[in-house]
A and B are shown apart, each in its own frame.
Chain A
Amino acid sequence: MSDLRELYQEVIFDHNRNPRNFGRPARYDRVSEGHNPLCGDRLTLYIAFDAAGLVEKASFEGQGCAISTASASLMTEALKGKTEAEAEVMFQNFHGLIMGTSDVDPAVLGKLQVLTGVKEFPARVKCATLAWHTLQAALHGEQQVSTE
């Protein structure tokens, strides 16, 4: 049986209560808006790059459930210092592990591993992936994305 505690780990509550990198920054290079029409959640992701092309700061704003807020918060932390190509790989690994379609070692996700419990809750997978689809849209220069 799926355990609620596998889904709602303390790290998730922590990031839900105190989301990191929350709010619209003064400066950013990329912006994309993600929308989950199933639940009405919206999220805007901002990415600023440094001179070397590494993510200087990723931040987000919007309304969402604990899973989607924590996922966005953890993602923005993990993006710091990454190249675009590395961010793309992060997306592929995260998405594959959440969807159960990847056999890479979950350890590659680092702290983001706490979100893999969501794969036992199919109705909530889109909550966890909203921020990531928005990231991919931002990397590909798309202003809007929907999880549907």
Chain B
Amino acid sequence: MNAPIPRPVQRAFEIDAIRADFPILATTMHDRPLVYLDNAATCQKPHAVIEAEKHYYETLNANIHRGVHLLSQQATDAFEASREAVRALLNAPSTQDVIFTRGATESINLVAQSWGRNTLKPGDEILITHMEHHSNIVPWQLVCEQTGATLKVVPIDEDGVLDLSTLDTLLTERTKLFGMVHVSNALGTVNPVAELIQRAHAVGALALVDGAQAIAHTPVDVQALDADFYVFSAHKLYGPTGVGILYGRHSLLEQMPPWQGGGDMISLVRFSGSRWNHLPYKFEAGTPNIAGGVALLNAIQYVNALGFDAIAAHENALLDYATAQAEVFAGLRIVGRAPGKVSILSFVMDGIHPHDIGTILDMEGVAIRTGHHCAMPVMERYGIPATARASFAFYNTFGEIDALFVALHKVVKLFKGPAS
């Protein structure tokens, strides 16, 4: 038996007050307190976000950008205030460069179809990394099929770090776009995106950053990064589902044709031909998720009030504590050991499939993700069908990590118990 690992003292914030802001954290699952450790899949929502959606439907609901009536104007103002909050969050130069979508996935598809389909030709290459989420793989496969361009992949090493020595051969004048995940959802790895963007630009390629997993953990400055495109989903930033963001460099967005046609994205429609609306509306066909878009403002305010430094300090302490326990847990192997990774602990256990782990943990009230995490190539890289993944948010506690490991001991007891 190893010496117990001392539970760190809670310092970064008033954790009880924070947890009280998230109603779902007080619920039970299978008669046990919910221990929610699936934050990389989606984060829980603070009261302020839930209330903002309710408030919108109770006092502001009208279609935006079209009515002359006061209610429509108020709804438009609320939606556009959220766009400004996103602009500030990303330090984008203008709200014209901030496009609302359904999610990070749709944002990437927009770039692939609007920019890629109209630009790429046979012989061109799209470069991505081996640790991309399917959402930053499949849209490029589709556009490669449509245009005859080729998809190339930057490999990863045993720890889950990009093998940058391959860039000299993979990144060439044939490369038209380098798509890279900022933070890996399966491994937690934080990629050196500023450096990678610079490398892409050096060969004349554009750079698209998938920030879905990064946005809740780290401040993002698209101008300092010099990113051409940066995408994220509101629901991974404690905001509503069904709302995503595409930031694009203004000159590129100006050149790109609309992707979807419909209302709001036009300035003039005639059967002989239509004219497109100006940015950002050119890319916002149809009525969006207005309530969700409005409530994203409150999610951003919530995170800003805590501060990314304090969030990172607490989440890193949680990860360190969990990692220390995982390292002494017999038969458990951590998958993804990149230095400086975010609070994601992916692991496998000898002789016990992740899905069995997930079911048994669930019965203890502990919610984790099990499976391939929409990153099948990562699983293939490590020769495993799946992992179990615990991912921590700022509202998690050291006690919840203890609950995770108590439950994991129950898994072992059940599987390797008296019968073995």
Contacts and interface: CB of A to CB of B under 8 A. Distances in A.
B3 interface: no
A54 B419 CA distance: 35
Contact of A123 (B359, B379, B385): B359
A14 B352 CA distance: 13
A65 interface: yes
Query: What 6 A-B pairs come out closest when comparing CB atoms?
Result: A65-B353, A40-B385, A65-B355, A40-B372, A66-B356, A65-B356
A120 to B, nearest CB: 11
Contacts of A64: 353, 385
Contacts of B386: 39-41
B363 to A, nearest CB: 5
B16 interface: no
B419 A39 contact: no
Contacts of B360: 4, 8
A1 B353 contact: no
Q: B-side binding surface: helix, strand, loop or mixed?
A: mixed
A42 B419 CA distance: 27
A7 interface: yes
B33 to A, nearest CB: 15
A123 B376 CA distance: 20
Interface in A56-102: 63-67, 69
A17 B385 contact: no
Nearest to B418: A10
A111 to B, nearest CB: 17
A1 B365 CA distance: 13
Given A8-B414, A39-B371, 6 more contacts: A1-B30, A13-B415, A17-B351, A63-B353, A66-B356, A123-B359
Interface of B: 30-31, 351-356, 359-360, 363, 370-372, 376, 379, 385-386, 414-415, 419-420
Interface in A1-47: 1-2, 4, 7-8, 10, 13-14, 17, 38-42
Contacts of A127: 355
A14, A39, A124 interface centre (most CB from chain B within 10 Å): A39
Category for how many chain A residues contact B: 20 to 34
Nearest to A121: B359
Nearest to B351: A17
A13 B360 CA distance: 14
A32 B356 CA distance: 25
16 contacts: A2-B363, A4-B359, A13-B419, A17-B351, A17-B420, A39-B371, A40-B372, A40-B379, A42-B385, A65-B353, A65-B354, A66-B352, A66-B353, A67-B355, A69-B353, A124-B359
Contacts of B376: 40
Contacts of A124: 355, 359
Interface string A119-133: 001011001000000
